Amino acid sequence: MTEAITIFVLILAAMVLTVAEIFLPTLGILGIIAVLAVVWAVVQAFMISGSVGLGVLLGVLIFFPMYVWLLIRAIPRSPLAKRIFLKQPPSGEMTAEQESLAGLVGQEGVAETPLRLSGAVRINGRRYQAMAESDHIDAGQPVRVLRFDGMDLIVKPVTSD
């Protein structure tokens, strides 16, 4: 009877360690200990008898993947996770910084650094990170803002046609 309790405690410990691995920065150490606990529970079951060992092994092979899948689905929705994990901004909504960048579309400025695809531009006296739409833009060259991508302005050189 004590072997059955040992097997139960090892599997229960593995379940607790699996949850702890998600919330604690252990670099996988708790996960490894959880796997070792499950392996030791299966070994203990086989020491009782082959049929008990096979039953525990099949139960673990069926139950644990479902348990991990359930954790992955349920934990992000838990109250604890909502306080710990970063929140995604609602899709389609712009942050205040992105709204200010959207107001710069169509405006002209000057390349402060060479834009070898990426660099800095000055528009209305403020410095912004920018990416050249194509090619290279020399420092001091006038540029026009075409659009923004994330927190970068996409610019092209102003040509005098």
> Which residues does residue 120 pair with via DSSP β-bridges, in sequence order?
129
Which stretches does DSSP call E strand in 49-149? 108-111, 115-123, 126-137, 142-149
* Domain residue spans of the chain: 2-84, 96-157
Instruction: Give the distance between the most distant pair of CA atoms in the chain.
Output: 91
For residue 106, report the phi and psi dihedrals to the nearest 5 degrees: 95, -15
155, 144 Cβ separation under 8 angstroms: yes
CA distance 91 to 75: 22
CATH 2.40.50.140 fits 96-157, yes or no: yes
- The band of 92, judged by pLDDT with boundaries at 50, 70 and 90, is low
**What number is the average pLDDT over the span 78-102?**
75
pLDDT of residue 73: 86
